[in-house]
Chain A
Amino acid sequence: MPKVLMKGNEAIAEAAIRAGCLNYFAYPITPQSEVAEYLCWRMPEVNGVFLQGESEVAVAYMIFGAAGAGVRVFTTSSSPGISLMSEGISYLCGAELPAVFVNIMRGGPGLGGILPSQADYLQATKGIGHGDCRLLVMAPASVQEAAEMVMQAFPLAEKYRNPVMILGDGLIGQMMEPVEFPDHLRSEPSNKDSWASNGMDHRKSKTRNLVRSLYLNATLLNDHNMDLRAKYERMKAEEVRYEDYNTDGDYQALIVSYGTMSRVCKTAVNTLKEQGIEVGLIRPQTLFPFPEAAIRQAARKESCRAVLSVEMSMGQMVEDVERSVRGARPVQWYGKCGGEVPTPEEIIEVVTATLASDDSRR
């Protein structure tokens, strides 16, 4: 298929169909409403289902039901809507059901605003729901990458029998960029016999598949949590993804940034290079699992004097960056929230000031 010019939200919608997901339940919210707008005409074309739930709480359980029945299913929402879904997401983790959630983040807390934000980082990576539940979280930085991540998210969700979240900011949803899709449609989950509770008749396996997250026996629940933990550890071992940029040479500072923010940082890195200041950049593509080892190693480079976490939040990812760097270098945060996206000029100023400060002069 040739390149087409599409909004991120539309590309996410089309990508889900290309991934073989024919079930979409959602409740509209800015800045991701174009996904629902697109799928309300596109789903019928492929004999898929689009049902608008009466609320995000209901949507989460429509996802739960469809996932339990063994079909590919996804939803999209934005920050306040995701909060409403969080109970259902915890149930999906508990019942080990695969599904894809897309959060096109807007400013918060509360109703906040509708402009781009990255303030749901901690929610997505650490606090999505009650109990020891985790999501595999992917963070696209372009429309093309958003589409690709959606297509990768379904097989990953099935591999781990766990929900996967695509965490984008409002700009990723609203921006138009060229995007290319594969021609073929993917199929149904290949491993659903091990979990789909869709009747015994057409399954090879003769064990019953129960959809449940209730374990009243303390030992059984502990075992269950240990199994889940092992799964999350396996994600950490197998699914870490990141991009490094300008990290070959002797950089004086290292920036860690993701999504739209990382693109602004790249422009700043290029401009600083022209001024003779080398700055490396690591862009996590997965936020959980987090590229801890890569960041630790990059921060420890002899020439590197400081590490900066640049994010559209009041300092969330910086906690993971500090954890990764483990005190080897000073770690600073820079960010804005509420819809204003820091400009390359601001980042350049922050980097210059950081390098000039006593704190980073060793």
Chain B
Amino acid sequence: MTAVPLGIPRRLVEVSLDGRPVRVPEGATLLDACRAAGKDVPTLCQGDTLRPKNACRVCVVEVEGSRTLVPACSRRAEPGMEVRTDGERVRHSRRLVLELLASSVDLSTTPGAAGWIEEYGARPDRFGPDAARVTEEPRVDNELYVRDYAKCILCYKCVDACGEQWQNTFAISVCGRGFDARIAVEHDAPLPESACVYCGNCVEVCPTGALAFRSEFDMRAAGTWDETAQTVTTTVCAYCGVGCNLTLHVQDNEIVKVTSPHDNPVTHGNLCIKGRFGYQHVQNRD
């Protein structure tokens, strides 16, 4: 017996990516294989700390012998698979997904979206001015974070992070069907009347900025948010003795946002209300 379990040995499986052989550990996804080979695959609903949800379909690739395109984020690599990541069928599908999403919600704060729209030649405005679109004012009902439904793509990452995969608070879920589906707390109440514990772990995984820290939201509204002027420093939380790693985003010597490294063995990207939001005391300078 070894002191620490080593797990089951994992073999390497070989797949072909755009005609080139690639070897990845057994159990790896096609997305893992693409990234290991340096291929850029757009993703929205995929989260490195979450199980695949297959909601957005923007990461689809073509697998030889498969009738439909497959989501790279969840399909496991199998020996001998022949995968094409950049064919016209793939590009067409990604273009359509981006057009549908960008025509119905605001992707202006989605990292990478503008680049993908250009890369795939997506024209979200081609559905005309009457295309259905979520136009709702952001919900600002507490001092810590904001819900902006006009940016929500219903990827369910926040629901998974709040639910059984991490936080186990179950404050938010999906309600409604079809175009009326939305992420909500019970009775669609304001957050302070919900079960929310303000850990911000939903904000941590939100891919579009639909969930945003109040500090970031206010600074964006004021036009002062400038990521190029921010430093990013990882330190250790000063509250309890668990030792969560905090990544402090600092602009003009003010902490403007707190995240946590997703590969950290203590936090896996998760924090509690104190670590996520309890930084203000150091900058109450006068």
- Does B associate with A? no
